[in-house]
Structure 1
Amino acid sequence: MQQWNLFLAFFRVGIFGYGGGPSSIPLVHKEVVEKYKWMTDDEFADVLALGNSLPGPIATKMAGYIGYRVSGFTGMMNAVLATILPTIAVLIILLSFLNNFRELSWVNGMTQAVVPVVGVMLAVLAFDFVKKSKQNLGVWVTLLIGTASLLLIEGGGVHPGLVILVLLLFALLRPMSKKGTDRDEYHSKEVSK
């Protein structure tokens, strides 16, 4: 049943992820965090951040990792195939159709009408990430990191993966807080159980 659920979850992502990798991220979130609860929001955010810093399409990277985490090597293969097979089939069919009828106004309008929907999906996901960041880091740190990232990526032309890598390195190398490390907090929770 787990393999079937993995296949269905990532098949839906592959079918409805119109617009490429970024547009499929909210769909992956809906399946993985909200529907099947294979991950928490924080775990998903970590996977997304790390996946964005690595080369290759984000949807297949996330499918591979999540599939592996849920059901090992078989789950990884299942999730990746479920993600790419629908896309390949739809791409062949859709491109053949669009090339034959691209001069028709309704075909052109159909492809343009999807863009705002994808934009809204990305905006909702971004808003959720900002809310979570605000809870974990506070308003000012969230605004500072968000503004600096925007300026570096859009204004300075810095690759997003490089910005994420620098932030990950900073988080790893920063001095521990006075309250103790996350490891200490996790250990104390485990001991109290």
Structure 2
Amino acid sequence: MKLIFEMFISFFKIGAFTIGGGYAMLPLIQREVVKNKKWIKEEDFLDMVVVAQSAPGPLAVNISVFTGYKVKGIPGLISTVLGATLPSFMIIILVASVFIGIESNPIVESIFKGIRPAVVALIAVPVIKLGKSAKVNRKNFILPAAVAVLVAFLKVNPIYVILSLMVIGVVVVVARRGNNGSTH
């Protein structure tokens, strides 16, 4: 029970002090669950992020689901999801009750304009870290760059890109197994 409460508190802190949503939460989640608490191994965390991005729903919630379940099963899942989502829910209720009527205030507009660059930086950090963890280098940079161009500039739906790459991955693995089987 102590671990379940600790998991709730960890994800509650992450949810309460992260502006910018899922990608901005990644470095905090990674530091907490991999480095500080050692609940998840680094390579397992990278796999969780990949699956969480592919699954429907918010990234941070998906990662909290996988972390909670891996560490403590269904009770862990419930505690991490509540921890990750409760602060946002409370903040949205509070902001909505105060924000109505002041959204066009120049000071409020300036505050939001000031927050935007910080959010961009918070999103860039996990992208760079994930690139290093995934061992993206000059040699294998072509695929991530091609995907970025397809999605960002050619406006190809990311779902089609993911599905296509899944099919290609399966074909490559099956082909490799077929070649390995014929050499024995």
TM-score (norm 2): 0.83
Letter in 2 for 1:59: A
Which residue among 149, 152, 162 is the counterpart of 2:150? 152
Letter in 2 for 1:47: M
Aligned equivalent of 1:186: none
Measure the CA separation in 2 of the matches of 1:111 and 1:126.
23
What is the DSSP-based 3-state SS (H/G/I as helix, E as strand, rest coil) of the residue aligned with 1:115? helix
Q: CA deviation at 1:169?
A: 4.0
Q: Does 1:12 align with 2:50?
A: no
Contact 1:21 1:58 in 2 (8 A): yes
Q: CA deviation at 1:55?
A: 1.4
Which deviates further from its counterpart, 143-152 or 158-167? 158-167
Q: CA deviation at 1:148?
A: 0.8
Trace 1:44-63 onto structure 2 (pairs within 5 A): 44-63=45-64
> Percent of counterpart pairs with the same letter?
27
How big is the alpha-carbon RMSD for the aligned residues of Structure 1 and Structure 2?
2.2
Contact 1:54 1:161 in 2 (8 A): no
Q: CA deviation at 1:156?
A: 2.6
Measure the CA separation in 1 of the matches of 2:163 and 2:63.
17
Contact 1:10 1:83 in 2 (8 A): yes
Measure the CA separation in 2 of the matches of 1:176 and 1:131.
26
Measure the CA separation in 2 of the matches of 1:161 and 1:48.
16
Contact 1:23 1:118 in 2 (8 A): yes
What is the DSSP-based 3-state SS (H/G/I as helix, E as strand, rest coil) of the residue aligned with 2:66? helix
Measure the CA separation in 1 of the matches of 2:113 and 2:6.
32
Which deviates further from its counterpart, 144-153 or 17-26? 17-26
Aligned equivalent of 1:24: 25
Query: Residue deviations 1:75-113, cap 9 Å, x none?
Result: 001111111111111001012222232233222222222
Trace 1:171-182 onto structure 2 (pairs within 5 A): 171-174=169-172, 175-176=175-176
TM-score (norm 1): 0.80
Aligned equivalent of 2:71: 70
What is the DSSP-based 3-state SS (H/G/I as helix, E as strand, rest coil) of the residue aligned with 1:102? coil
Contact 1:53 1:160 in 2 (8 A): no
In structure 2, runs of 5+ residues without a counterpart are none
In structure 1, runs of 5+ residues without a counterpart are 181-193
Q: CA deviation at 1:16?
A: 2.1
Aligned equivalent of 1:139: 138
Q: CA deviation at 1:157?
A: 2.0
Query: Residue deviations 1:162-181, cap 9 Å, x none?
Result: 4334334433442449xx8x
Measure the CA separation in 2 of the matches of 1:94 and 1:104.
14
Contact 2:25 2:60 in 1 (8 A): yes
Measure the CA separation in 2 of the matches of 1:36 and 1:163.
35
Query: Residue deviations 1:105-135, cap 9 Å, x none?
Result: 222222222211121121111111222233x
